[in-house]
Amino acid sequence: MTQPSRPQDGRAALASFVTNRLGRTNARPAPVETKAPPTDESAQDFEKLTGYRELRLQRSAADLIGLGNPFFRVHETRAGANTRIEGQAYSNYSSYDYLGLNGHPAVSGAARKAIEAFGTSASASRIVAGERPGHLKLERALAAHYGTDGCVIMVSGHATNVTAIGAMLEAPDVIFHDALIHNSVVTGAQLSGAQRRSFAHNDPAALEKLLEATRHEHRRALIVVEGLYSMDGDAPDLAAFVELKRRYDCWLMVDDAHGLGVLGRTGAGLHEHCGVEASDVDIWMGTLSKTLSSCGGYICGPSALIEYLKCTAGGFVYSVGMSPPLAAAAEAALSVMQAEPERVERLRRNGNQFLALAKKHGLNTGSSLGLAVIPIIVGDSLKAVTLSDRLFKRGINVQPIIHPAVPERSSRLRFFMTSEHTPEQIAQTVATVAEELSALETGATLIEQLMARRGA
Ligand SMILES: Cc1ncc(COP(=O)(O)O)c(C=O)c1O
pLDDT tens digits, residue range 313-368? 999 999 999 999 999 999 999 999 999 999 999 999 999 999 999 999 999 999 99
Confidence grade of residue 18 (pLDDT, cut at 50, 70, 90): very low
Half-sphere exposure of 365 (CA within 13 A, CB side): 27
Q: Write out 121-167 in H/E/C secondary structure.
A: CCCCCHHHHCCCHHHHHHHHHHHHHHCCCEEEEECCHHHHHHHHHHH
CA angle centred on 426, ends 425 and 429, rounded to 5°: 85
* 36 exposure class (CB count in 10 Å sphere: 0-12, 13-18, 19+): exposed
pLDDT of residue 445: 55
- What pLDDT shows up at residue 19? 31
Name residue 3's amino acid: Q
Q: Is the pLDDT of residue 264 over 80?
A: yes
Query: Band of the pLDDT at 24, cuts 50, 70, 90?
Result: very low
Q: Each residue of 365-377: b (16+ CB within 10 Å) or e?
A: beebbbbbbbbbb
Using the 8-state DSSP alphabet, how is residue 220 labeled?
A: S
Nearest residue by C-alpha to atom 8 in ligand 1: 157
Out of 95, 177, 184, 283, give the residue to mutate to test ligand 1, the one with the largest number of ligand atoms within 8 Å of its CB. Answer: 184
Separation of CA 40 and ligand 1 centre (Å):
37
80 Cα–ligand 1 center, Å: 18
Ligand 1 atom closest to 227 (CA)? 1
Q: Which atom of ligand 1 is nearest to the CA of 181?
A: 1
pLDDT in tens, 278-323: 999 999 999 999 999 999 999 999 999 999 999 999 999 999 999 9
DSSP one-letter string for 236-295: --HHHHHHHHHHTT-EEEEE-TTTTTTSSTTS--HHHHHT--GGGSSEEEEESSSTT-S-
Q: Which of 98, 102, 154, 158 to mutate to test the pocket of ligand 1 (most atoms within 8 A of CB)?
A: 158
DSSP code for 75: B
| pLDDT above 90: residue 272 | yes
Q: What is the CA 373 to chain-centroid distance, rounded?
A: 13
**In the prediction, which pLDDT does 57 show?**
83
- pLDDT tier for residue 403 given thresholds of 50, 70 and 90: confident
Q: What's the CA angle centered on 230, arms 226 and 231, to 5 degrees?
A: 125
- Is the confidence at residue 401, as pLDDT, over 80? yes
Cβ atoms 299, 306 nearer than 8 A: yes
Q: Which top CATH class is 69-98+341-455?
A: alpha beta
pLDDT digits (tens, 9 = 90+) for 210-257: 999 999 999 999 999 999 999 999 999 999 999 999 999 999 999 999
Going from the Cα of 440 to the center of ligand 1, the distance in angstroms, rounded, reads 32
- Checking if the pLDDT of 439 tops 80, the result is yes
* Contact call for residues 397 and 416 (beta carbons, < 8 A): no
- What pLDDT, on a 0 to 100 scale, did the predictor assign at position 38? 61
Closest CA to 98 of 213, 236, 260: 260
Q: Look at residue 10 and tell me whether its pLDDT is greater than 60.
A: no
Class of domain 105-339 (CATH, top level): alpha beta
Counting ligand 1 atoms within 8 A of each CB, the residue from 187, 256, 287 with the most, and so the one to mutate, is 287
- The per-residue pLDDT for 456 is 43
Count the alpha carbons within 13 Å of 291 in the hemisphere toward its beta carbon.
29
183 CA to centre of ligand 1 in angstroms: 9
Cα 11 to ligand 1 centre (Å): 37
| Distance from residue 226's CA to the centre of ligand 1 (Å) | 10
CA distance 301 to 284: 6
Residue 305 Cα to ligand 1 middle (Å): 21
pLDDT score, position 37? 63
Which atom of ligand 1 is found nearest the CA of 226? 1
Q: From CA 284, how far away is CA 256, in angstroms rounded?
A: 7
What is the longest distance spanned by two Cα atoms in the chain?
79
Report the percent of the chain where pLDDT is more than 70. 88
Q: Residue whose CA is closest, atom 10 of ligand 1?
A: 157
Residue 42 Cα, ligand 1 centroid: separation in angstroms?
35
- Top mutation candidate among 98, 288, 289 for ligand 1, by most atoms within 8 Å of CB: 289
408 has a pLDDT exceeding 70: yes
CB atoms within 10 A of CB 200: 14
Over residues 451-455, the mean pLDDT reads 56
Pocket lined around ligand 1, Cβ cut-off 6 Å: 156-158, 161, 182, 184, 226, 230, 255, 257-258, 287, 289, 297
Domain residue limits, the chain? 69-98+341-455, 105-339
Atom of ligand 1 nearest to the CA of 161: 4
Query: How far is CA 287 from each of CA 135, 255, 327, 384, rounded to the nearest angstrom?
Result: 15, 8, 12, 28
Atom of ligand 1 nearest to the CA of 289: 10
Distance 361 CA to ligand 1 centre (A): 31
Percentage of residues in the chain having pLDDT higher than 90: 79
The answer to whether residues 415 and 376 touch, using CB atoms and an 8 Å cutoff, is yes
Q: Tell me, what's the pLDDT at 5?
A: 38
Centre of ligand 1 to C-alpha 161, Å, is 9
List Cβ neighbours of 66 (8 Å cut-off, separation of 6 or more): none
CA of 340 to the centre of ligand 1 (A): 24
DSSP state of 396: E
The mean pLDDT value for 75-103 works out to 97
